[in-house]
Amino acid sequence: MPELPEVETIRRNLNTVLEGEIIREVLVYYRPIVSNDASFETKLKGQRIHKVEREAKYLKFILDDYLLVSHLRMEGKYFMDAPLNKHIHVVFNLSSGHTLSYEDTRKFGRFELVDIKYKDTYLKDIKGLAKDPDTLDLNTFYSSFNQRSKTIKEILLDQSIIGGIGNIYANEILYLSKIHPAKKGFLISKDEAKTLLNNSNLVLNKAIEMGGTTIDTFESLGHKGEFQQELNVHGKTGEICKVCGTKIIKFQLKGRGTYICPKCQPSYVVAITGGIATGKSTATNYLRKKGFVVVDSDEIVGSLYQDSDVLNLIAKTFKMETPIDKAKLANIVFHDEKQRKKLEHILHPLVFDEISKQKQLNNEHILFLDIPLLFESNYKEFDESILIDTTEALQLDRLMKRNKYTQEEALVRIKAQIPLSKKRKLATHIIKNNGSIDALYEKIDKLLERYV
């Protein structure tokens, strides 16, 4: 899709051949291209083209009485004096005898005809189009996303926040800014926002100088761009980062091909653990509400209990019938450490395998792992750990109320895990959950600030 540099290149080239031309006749071969006016051809007849302007990814033909807006979308192109083919959908016959043809293999492009008095306001007021990076001030840019959970790449692609940036340039801007594309808007600092805005201008201006980027089909009146020679990450899967020597990787983020250097644009795997009834699930549910992905080991175990091969192995190990009586199995493993180890020997490797798969599927800036038995299982594939901590009295009280256990039953389950006192020594970060839910949320928010 042509982005700001490509559209600007087209604008400059069109101005060299169209300025002062009068439209003698318009031929429309595919009606949906002309999206808002049944009298399109009639209104344009006799109109002089004074100049062609650009706003973000839109071309603006300034005529006598009208603003002609052209959005190229995926494959729109302009040609002068081109022979008619099946992909040419609009032809402008000019008073000089030349023709301007609009070609679009996918037919996604659109023209709109607007009263000339709206030439400076239409795209902003009707389309909600934001300013281009070079005219967008930092405070406006930063305040538009600093409370949002959208990823920073989605924000850069959002034309209501910043105009003109598409997928190729978003990848390049984020690489130069050393920011992971999946980082959430509310985790972007104002300094990072400034860096993003500066790099947006740096990348786009350089691309304009080089006539845009030609990767597949972009050309402007027959001229191809050269900025593809300057790309650092886009389309460079498996190639070496120029800065650190790490291999560039590609993944899909919200349906868009995304290229990064994993070292220059770091991400984190954060394991969350706690004792039974310390409030770990409350913490992870809050993180989900904030838009984070949480891989839940308990959910994985639940799915394993739906697997007939796993159930048969458990039944054979514990000399039980299928379907498994889970209450009976729980009673066995919570009262006998050797039996519990047998079950863990079956389940833990399978859980770890599934976590690895989820890591591959979820290319997040911060991926959270909910692992109650993090330290008991000796799982090591994470960068940092968070312990949701509380007092034993609160832990006991919550467990008795939540599960209707007797004090003895609750204590059995608490003591089946490593004591919280030991987990405190093993965890990277500790969040005390001794008060209200709101207090817990505030502590989580405070901890998230370390990833800003």
CA-to-CA distance for 343 and 335, rounded, in angstroms?
A: 13
* Residue 272 contacts residue 386 (beta carbons within 8 Å): yes
**Cα 193 to Cα 19, 38, 220, distances in angstroms:** 38, 44, 32
Catalytic hit among 11, 54, 57, 153: 57
CA-to-CA distance for 142 and 182, rounded, in angstroms?
A: 17
What sign results for the dihedral spanned by CA atoms 442, 444, 450, 452?
Answer: negative
Q: Is 2 a catalytic residue?
A: yes
Token output for 357:
């798969």
**Cα 335 to Cα 157, 268, 319, 398, 408, distances in angstroms:** 56, 37, 17, 21, 12
Question: Which residue has 């175990």 as its token pair?
Answer: 301
* Residue 301 contacts residue 347 (beta carbons within 8 Å): yes
Token output for 7:
């559209």
Catalytic hit among 2, 133, 181, 372: 2
Catalytic hit among 124, 224, 256, 432: 256
Name the binding residues. Answer: 277-282
**Cα 362 to Cα 188, 265, 269, 370, 438, distances in angstroms:** 20, 16, 11, 15, 28
HSE-up (13 A, CA, CB side) for residue 421: 2
CA-to-CA distance for 297 and 370, rounded, in angstroms?
A: 6
CA-to-CA distance for 73 and 381, rounded, in angstroms?
A: 43
Name the binding residues for ATP. Answer: 277-282
Strands 268-274 and 384-389, bridge-based pairing? parallel
Q: Is 181 a catalytic residue?
A: no
Nearest to 254 by CA among 323, 145, 173, 181: 181
Please name the residues in contact with 340: beta carbons below 8 A apart, sequence gap of 6 or more: 333, 334, 416
Q: Is 3 a catalytic residue?
A: yes
* Residue 247 contacts residue 241 (beta carbons within 8 Å): yes
CB atoms within 10 A of CB 187: 21
Which residues are catalytic, by number?
2-3, 57, 256
